Structure 1
Amino acid sequence: MNTAEAAAPVLCHREIIALDRVGFSFGSQQVMNNVSFTAHERDFIGLIGSNGAGKTTLLRMIVGLLKPQQGEIRLFGTPIERFKDWHLIGYVPQRNQFNPLFPATVREVVLSGMYGRRKLLKRVSKEDAARADDALRTLHIENLADKRIGALSGGQQQRVFLARALINNPKLLILDEPMSGIDTETQQNFFHLLRHMHQHHNITFLMVSHDMEMVRSYLGEQPKESCGKLTFHVRHSHDLEDCAETDLLHTLRKEG
């Protein structure tokens, strides 16, 4: 190793999420207290905890939907109250947070993933439309583009939400029970896609799951850290097994 190589930073150790003594309560009910954890670039974190342990609450704080009442959250090294680069984060919420009667097509839902970098009322550009079509092809749901999102099966909806989350090539992907309510084969295919992205792309994952067997099969039996009722299982991909193309959608479609 030459001097320049020795001086180069180890990018895969860059801080992506930092939780510093985070606490939150709903009224008099304390959901979590003194939660500290750091996620680094190319980590895959499985967040496990019992019902009421605060898993979804923690994710909602990380994506800016709730404010921590104690402690600090940093994203990509920036305190969350000053963080502006939300396009770096993809978020797949729980399906039960979605109104099945919401009057939107699959294409419209996927396109909404780009609203973080442009005004809601701005006309959709040809580039944006092409990007959405690319995301639909990547997740093999292009034939569903004009269907209402509420008319789809659970597995199809999850692919739509993942396409929405991936449309901006995020550096951090947050998933809240992404395999809940879908059949076993669809779960396996979905998790295989996540593993591929983790092993071949510069992306960090934070996933909540009740499927402890599936999480532990990839991330290991022993958690890296525990904070109260929450445990963090972590697998780091540092070998940089990158695909030839950096665009996540093109590469996944090519290899899918």
Structure 2
Amino acid sequence: MSVVAVRHGAVTYGGRHVLRDVNFEVTTGQVVAILGANGSGKSTLVRTILGLVPLAGGEIDLFGTPRARFRTWARIGYVPQRIGAGSGVPATVGEVVASGRLARRGIFRPARAADRDAVRAALEDVGLLDRINDPVTTLSGGQQQRTLIARALAGRPDLLVLDEPTAGVDAASQEAFAAVLGRFAERGGTILLVAHELGPLEPLIDKAVVVHDGRIAYEGRVPEPAGHHAAPGHDHVHPHAEPERPAICVAPTDRMPAS
């Protein structure tokens, strides 16, 4: 079954073409990596798939439904790029993860036992159950990113979308992310992730999609590294200076768009 299908997708910013004639598909159970250099358009592509960036042309289907008519956003868990937890609303780790249940239970319904169980299970999966009552500001960068993954997992999604989950975090956290995503995939989940480099995530990848200058330049098996990336001991932790860093919070606006 098709989970994500993009046909002739195009995005423009201020008259500049950011994505042009993009075509690709993610099917049930696949782990797909969108690769490319900074500025290639890879993050814009996933944000467009999620409806966070408008299409200038083309079509996108989610689970076989045109995105404009898609309503079951609880089926999708989204993990944005690494952020600074201190810039958001003060909250505990458990409160942040619990916000991932909003799309399933609704904003105005009180949390039920199933919601609390899902939060605890997600935190246990990422190895942070013992920090459930701690302020998220006390966590390391890698632990904050694991909290965001737990928030997405708490919603029990069918599709997990991650935007550079390992960027700027230590090697131990990257290994932890790989283990969590591997377990999600083993349970039948579908994963779409954006990465500059894969590191320990590489063994999980079924298909790589390389974006260059707003177009799909390659689609297939993960390409072999070249140049300095292939050198022994090359550090796969790179700083990323994307302009947007949304604050971590438990506000209802953190949900997927309604259309």
Instruction: Report the TM-score when normalising by structure 1.
Output: 0.77
Structure 2: distance between partners of 1:233 and 1:153: 35
Matching of residues 110-121 of structure 1 within 5 Å: 110-121=97-108
Structure 2: distance between partners of 1:53 and 1:97: 24
Is the counterpart of residue 72 in structure 1 residue 59 in structure 2? yes
Change (3 A) 1:234 1:83: farther
Task: Specify which of 166, 171, 174 is matched with residue 158 of structure 2.
Answer: 171
Residues 209 and 216 of structure 2 are in contact (CA less than 8 Å); yes or no, is this contact kept in structure 1? no
Q: Which residue of 1 aligns with 2:33?
A: 46
Residues 48 and 231 of structure 1 are in contact (CA less than 8 Å); yes or no, is this contact kept in structure 2? no
Residues 173 and 206 of structure 1 are in contact (CA less than 8 Å); yes or no, is this contact kept in structure 2? yes
Structure 2: distance between partners of 1:224 and 1:94: 19
Residues 4 and 61 of structure 2 are in contact (CA less than 8 Å); yes or no, is this contact kept in structure 1? yes
Is the counterpart of residue 151 in structure 1 residue 138 in structure 2? yes
Deviations 1:136-173 (A, max 9, x none): 22222122112222321111112111111111321111
What runs of 5+ residues in structure 2 fail to find an aligned partner? Answer: 223-259
Change (3 A) 1:77 1:234: farther
Q: Which residue of 1 aligns with 2:11?
A: 24
Structure 2: distance between partners of 1:91 and 1:98: 16
Q: Which residue of 2 aligns with 1:104?
A: 91
Residues 209 and 215 of structure 1 are in contact (CA less than 8 Å); yes or no, is this contact kept in structure 2? no
1:83 maps to amino acid: F
The structure that has the greater radius of gyration is: 1
Q: Which residue of 2 aligns with 1:204?
A: 190
Residues 22 and 68 of structure 1 are in contact (CA less than 8 Å); yes or no, is this contact kept in structure 2? yes
Structure 2: distance between partners of 1:196 and 1:131: 16
What runs of 5+ residues in structure 1 fail to find an aligned partner? Answer: 1-13, 236-256
Change (3 A) 1:97 1:153: closer
Residues 225 and 232 of structure 1 are in contact (CA less than 8 Å); yes or no, is this contact kept in structure 2? yes
Residues 49 and 60 of structure 2 are in contact (CA less than 8 Å); yes or no, is this contact kept in structure 1? yes
Instruction: Report the TM-score when normalising by structure 2.
Output: 0.76
Using CA pairs under 8 Å that are at least 6 residues apart, name the structure with larger relative contact order, 1 or 2.
2
Structure 1 stretches of at least 4 aligned residues deviating more than 3 Å after TM superposition: 96-101, 212-220, 222-227, 229-235
Structure 1: distance between partners of 2:100 and 2:136: 14
Shift of 1:98: 5.9
Q: Which residue of 2 aligns with 1:3?
A: none
Q: Which has the higher helix share?
A: 1
Shift of 1:19: 0.1
Q: Which residue of 2 aligns with 1:141?
A: 128
Residue correspondences, number: 220
Give SS of 2:83's match.
helix
Residues 62 and 73 of structure 1 are in contact (CA less than 8 Å); yes or no, is this contact kept in structure 2? yes
Change (3 A) 1:100 1:73: same
Q: Provide the identity percentage.
A: 35
Give SS of 1:130's match.
helix
Is the counterpart of residue 58 in structure 1 residue 53 in structure 2? no
